[in-house]
A and B are shown apart, each in its own frame.
Chain A
Amino acid sequence: MELLTILLEIGQGLAGLGAGAAAIGAGLGVGRIGGSALEAMARQPEMAGDLRTNMIIAAALVEGVALFGAIICLLVALG
């Protein structure tokens, strides 16, 4: 029982780390999407509208995965 409580405590701490890791991944992904989109817009300003829409879609998909991670971490921490 003692060991189990300790392990639970550790698990809750690791949940925080997991949320951080999810944020790192999402940050890298969204940063790359935004950077590439800006580059493309600078090269072809007439395509800016299309690029912006596609950028937001891609960012939303990346963010969705990161939020999955964050939700699971939250469930571990609260559960």
Chain B
Amino acid sequence: MIKRLQPFLALIGLVTGPFLWAQHENGHEGHAHQESHAEEGLIEGLEEEAGFDPSPFIMHHVADAYDIHLWGEGESAVHIPLPVILYSEGRGLHVFMSSAFHGHGDERHAVMEDGTEYVLSHGHISLVGDHSGHDHGGEHIMDLSITKSVFGMLFIMALLVFLFGRAAASYKKRPGQAPTGLTNALEPLVVFVRDDIAVPSLGEKKAQKFLPFLLTVFFFILFANLLGLIPFIGGFNITGTVGITMVMATFVFLLTTLNGNKHYWGHLFWPPGVPIFVMPIIIPIEIVGMFLKPIVLMIRLTANITAGHIIILSFVSLILIFGESSAVAGYGVGIFSTLFMIFMYCIELLVAFLQAFIFTLLAAIYFGEATHEAHH
């Protein structure tokens, strides 16, 4: 039901968004624009920014952040602050909320109780020298902050533990009976992963061994993708963050390599049935391929999810760019942009599922290759 409503929520947001923005701009400017109409306020608001540049706008929404940005710009923006955890050899450990960063614009500063000053500029936190004139001090900071993506990741983990914990409890409570409610919603997906992904590529016996990993990865990616598609909650881009997909791809690589049997390594270092003079070409390719597989796994997921976000944001930018020249053009383009955005939302819902499926399927196929028994 929520999935079905998403495009409509997006539509409502788009239609009402400019009006809210216009009112906000009016309120912000105080008496100067009080008498102007909402549309004029919108145009003036845009002109104040001296030309709308879509590139930083899109990057700001796609990139990771130290707080969850709900709506608004500049000082009146509504943020949910997240904890910032910084450690450096000289200054020790500092834990504070990201709302401690004051000011707005490119550089925001936060001063600790012991006088240490941090500066947040272009999405990176660095130290400010002890008022000794050194800018941004040279010291290396270990940044362990709970950023937007980390928060989203933890949220998804908690959600999965909660959902599947309840589903498991319901199986215990009603053994042998048809599933109901939540369990009923999750069971088809679990059965899908088992029967359409794990068993065909691994075989009945080995599927049981790898199913826990495959199910975890599948549901984590699926839920993270869907969380990223819910509008107005800060635009999470969890699976579009390289760090997170890299960890998942590393696990796939480790599991493949550690479970590789004699047959797998034999195929890798001395492919059977290949003429000797081709070996110098084949063997390096096989070895590079071994590392390339998880890398492509990582890039595919990251790029697909990020690209989906960028496309949707580009349609928003299009409205703002045309709105700069005239209100009529803005609203005219807005209608078509919105329709295209709804279309893209539907595609992204498909992609959210498809990418979870592909990642799990390819992982299962790699495991299957590694554990395949010789039969010739």
> Are A71 and B365 also in contact (CB < 8 A) when A53-B196, A56-B354, A56-B358 are?
no
Q: Is the interface of A mostly helix, strand, loop or mixed?
A: helix
Which of A57, A68, A70, A71 contacts B361 (CB under 8 A)? A57
Residues of A within 8 A of B303 (CB): 67, 70-71
Instruction: Judge whether A64 and B200 touch: CB under 8 Å.
Output: no
Bound: A3/B223 CA distance, A: 49
State the total of A-B contacts with C-beta under 8 angstroms.
29
Complex: how many Å from CA A67 to CA B361?
Answer: 19
Minimal beta-carbon separation of B191 from chain A (angstroms): 15
Number of interface residues of B (CB under 8 A): 14
State in angstroms the CA–CA spacing of A56 and B361 once bound together: 10
* Residue with the greatest number of chain B CB neighbours at <10 A, chosen from A60, A70, A71: A60
> Closest Cβ of chain B: how far from A62's Cβ, in Å?
11
Q: Establish whether residues B300 and A57, one from each chain, have CB atoms under 8 Å apart when the complex forms.
A: no
Contact of B365 among A57, A63, A70 (CB under 8 A): A57
B residues less than 8 Å from A68 (CB atoms) = 296, 299
Closest approach, in angstroms, between the C-beta of A46 and any C-beta of chain B? Answer: 16
A56 touches B299 (CB 8 A): no
Which residues from B are CB-within-8-Å of A56? Answer: 354, 357-358, 361
Whether the Cβ atoms of A64 and B299 lie closer than 8 Å is yes
Q: Give Cα A62–Cα B196 distance, bound, in whole angstroms.
A: 22
A67–B362 touching, CB < 8 Å: no
Report the bound CA distance from A67 to B354 in whole Å. Answer: 16
Q: CB-nearest residue of chain B relative to A63? A: B300
What residues of A have a CB within 8 angstroms of the CB of B358 in the complex? Answer: 56-57, 60
Known: A56-B358, A56-B361, A68-B296. 6 other contacts (CB 8 A): A56-B354, A63-B300, A64-B296, A67-B300, A70-B303, A71-B299
Pick 16 A–B contacts, CB within 8 A, sort by A. Answer: A53-B196, A53-B361, A56-B354, A56-B357, A57-B362, A57-B365, A60-B358, A60-B362, A63-B300, A63-B304, A64-B296, A64-B300, A67-B299, A67-B300, A70-B307, A71-B299
